Structure 1
């Protein structure tokens, strides 16, 4: 006789998500059971063999589902102990249901705010945290652009929608539903020139002088600067191995918003755990605050499919999701987007129109066609494979020429990883000696406000050739050996 929480999983019917595939259906059934607390923290899941018999699926499919749940932080898998739920789901998350929570009031501001980020360049070791333009299929892009322009009505060229081309917003919404797990429509989207403009618009439209804006520490310096220029009191919240410290946020229930990078934290590269994601959403509801989700490079996950976005768990409509094609396609494209709650749409559009920052219609037309004909998803697969090979090549080079002299983290995804230097190393001195060798490194300390971390540097690898990676990798390894 089956008893306990494991029996609940056996009685779960396969959902209609099976239409999306057996693996996705089984994943959705177990994930939703965890989020709904039908499978509570600490409860044990049945074996893949037992569940495969119950659901008439192959064990291989269930193994992939269990591995995905583990990678996303829902379960732990321990030999001899089975698979147990480890995600802690706040009661408020269940109570939120599907009704939007009361939205914090917003007042449009006109204060200017711009900031410049660190310079990243193609072919420069190791600040090459860019999509490699050499990989971009210009022929496919040209064809998409030509087709879109040939069929576009003349009126569209002179009277574009302030929120962005409807056809492009439809394609972005479809992509987010399919690949990021976000329930949204084209009406929820505003097209921007990139994530920096998204944050600038929020700083101008949502922040009032004196408001608290919580940012990650270490974190994205441009966001910190933009919020400060809008008159915000910028609060640094530490980042741990699970992402932003949700408990530290409890001291700031009077904050206006929190800006986070859940998929691949900038700069440390850690992934925000499911428990932390739910705690963060719970905090936003109780604090009557917004969460800005900066999803700058989630498409490049090298261990498995990209994790669902934080926005995918957002029942209270608290998350403002920001994405960009500049990181995935090429830096000069200058097209991004933000997924905004309904109460913010009008003030954000007013600020966008007032600052004249709308994206050109021709770029939007070309991108809409590029997404519609499947070229974007095909390109992502190719680029992801190329970047993974480059990452592996560099890691192998370091392992061969400087074994035991360093540690790495954040290498599971994104356009960079973190290289932790030997104990006692001086970041600034190491970066200067690297510069003398033609290597450009950014010390992790330059991203910190209050926290003090071990000496480390960021390593960008995506826009470097194999030859550059080998040559620069050996130089970097030699420098590691010189550290006393």
Structure 2
């Protein structure tokens, strides 16, 4: 702490209107700061002359405080070196002045906050075998990105370095709109594209803007943990609807209780990977239009497909303006970019733009400008094509490793698109225990059961991401994981298993037509 800073430290604590003399106040403030360890042992005090100057007081006033502190053993004078906080504090004051407060039982969180923390799904590890949902950031074209960044630094504009305008950087909105029209059949203009920091923020802003406390939202079961967390943090009640091989599997009982929001991943269901059928899409769109519900379409990692042709986006089929379309660059480029977007009906564009500015303040204008150039110059499309080929190779390597260890005794599903597959485990397997054991061995294998609303509907499996694992490392990493799986599932020999084989997801029976109760997630 410099002399000027120490003077400010005292000035904000001195009460000039108090009856207590200034010299006494200076003494007490410094003494209490030493006892509270705000001034550590060995701290060099400013000279009385400099401190008096900084405080705008006479030197005698400051000298009195120093003399009293030295007399009581709080300060010590070193000849030719100055005045310092003493190594020892008088015993009669050190404990009496600042008794330790009783340790609280825990943080004083609200019920909503406690639930959010208890159900947290984010991992402290975000890289390595087999982390799902993470691209290979080492393959990102850094030189191209650096060149574009340098161009904008050389021509730096104030509007890119301050708070961004409503909706985001206009050229980026134009580039995203054009990309979506071509690649995903999204029907939109640039004004309907609102830039956010990702799907969490996109979901957060629309449910706050369009929902009331206590409204309900249908979510897929299983689903991305972040969807449930955002909804509950905004006091929207998630209602879990199971999925089958055609997507969201609604029953008559569900239809009699219309929600405010319907959250779906129709192009590549997360985490199971199926595509919502055309008939289900039409049914959902008509139902939302009739009930005035909002469909929130998360087009999760739809850019990466391996041999299958995607259906058009749900938004592109919408004729009643009931679909809000979310996307992100976290999977195609790199998660640390923190740039996403939401496409809204024209009637909502101004309101959502204003809400984003009011709640989060527009930002990252510089990065948005770089990303706009990256897309407009063709680098984005080129990168996605190149990574699709690379990820397809890694997917095949993982498929081969699974088949080599387990043959057809375990089904790998959801591998036609995206950045991960799901390895179905034998019935009764504890995927949480397997995940923990894998983590101890340096392998990330997230348990499928954790994505379900509750234990009654949960199924056992492992999410295995392959995008950020080089081909030459996939076999050895899966060897380690396979040994753990065999140990926990009672499989003594590689490739053999006495436990009944679980069916592929596409062959699972559809839900019974009779309604059943579901615990809220």
TM-score range, shorter chain: 0.7 to 0.9
The reply on whether 1:283 has 2:287 as its aligned counterpart is yes
Could you tell which deviates more after superposition, 156-165 or 254-263? 156-165
| Aligned 8 A contact 2:419 2:466 in 1 | yes
The reply on whether 1:224 has 2:228 as its aligned counterpart is yes
Could you tell which deviates more after superposition, 143-152 or 402-411? 143-152
| Aligned 8 A contact 1:131 1:329 in 2 | yes
Distance 1:147 1:428, change over 3 A: same
| Aligned 8 A contact 2:263 2:298 in 1 | yes
- Secondary structure of 1:269's partner? coil
- CA separation in 2, counterparts of 1:370 and 1:114? 37
Query: What is the match of residue 190 of structure 2?
Result: 186
Distance 1:159 1:417, change over 3 A: closer
Count residues in correspondence: 374
Alignment of 1:110-259 (within 5 A): 117-119=121-123, 121=125, 123-151=127-155, 153-158=157-162, 160-247=164-251, 250-259=254-263
State which of 419, 424, 429 in structure 2 corresponds to 1:415.
Answer: 419
Query: What is the match of residue 24 of structure 1?
Result: none
Query: What is the match of residue 442 of structure 1?
Result: 446
In structure 1, list runs of 5 or more residues that go unmatched. Answer: 1-110
How far the C-alpha of 1:292 sits from its partner, in A, is: 0.3
- CA separation in 2, counterparts of 1:297 and 1:124? 19
State which of 464, 481, 484 in structure 1 corresponds to 2:486.
Answer: 481
Alignment of 1:375-394 (within 5 A): 375-394=379-398
The reply on whether 1:466 has 2:471 as its aligned counterpart is yes
* 1:97-133 Cα shifts (integer Å, max 9, x gaps): xxxxxxxxxxxxxx99988642274542222421111
Q: Computing the radius of gyration over CA atoms, which structure comes out larger, 1 or 2?
A: 2
State which of 319, 324, 332 in structure 2 corresponds to 1:320.
Answer: 324
- CA separation in 2, counterparts of 1:114 and 1:356? 20
- CA separation in 1, counterparts of 2:391 and 2:398? 11
- CA separation in 1, counterparts of 2:220 and 2:437? 29
State which of 264, 275, 291 in structure 1 corresponds to 2:268.
Answer: 264
Alignment of 1:45-64 (within 5 A): none
In structure 2, list runs of 5 or more residues that go unmatched. Answer: 1-111, 491-521
- Secondary structure of 1:418's partner? strand
Could you tell which deviates more after superposition, 344-353 or 440-449? 344-353
Query: What is the match of residue 428 of structure 1?
Result: 432
- CA separation in 2, counterparts of 1:149 and 1:372? 18
- TM value normalised by structure 1: 0.73
Distance 1:225 1:159, change over 3 A: closer
Distance 1:328 1:114, change over 3 A: farther
Alignment of 1:354-393 (within 5 A): 354-393=358-397
- Secondary structure of 1:127's partner? coil
- CA separation in 1, counterparts of 2:312 and 2:121? 27
Distance 1:145 1:247, change over 3 A: farther
| Aligned 8 A contact 1:216 1:237 in 2 | yes
- TM value normalised by structure 2: 0.68
The reply on whether 1:452 has 2:489 as its aligned counterpart is no
- CA separation in 2, counterparts of 1:122 and 1:233? 29
How far the C-alpha of 1:415 sits from its partner, in A, is: 1.0
Alignment of 1:305-344 (within 5 A): 305-344=309-348
- Secondary structure of 2:482's partner? helix
- CA separation in 2, counterparts of 1:406 and 1:163? 47
| Aligned 8 A contact 2:306 2:416 in 1 | yes
Distance 1:251 1:310, change over 3 A: same
- CA separation in 1, counterparts of 2:473 and 2:361? 37
How far the C-alpha of 1:474 sits from its partner, in A, is: 1.2
How far the C-alpha of 1:398 sits from its partner, in A, is: 1.5
How far the C-alpha of 1:349 sits from its partner, in A, is: 2.5
- Secondary structure of 1:320's partner? strand
Query: What is the match of residue 402 of structure 1?
Result: 406
- CA separation in 2, counterparts of 1:121 and 1:239? 29
| Aligned 8 A contact 2:325 2:344 in 1 | yes
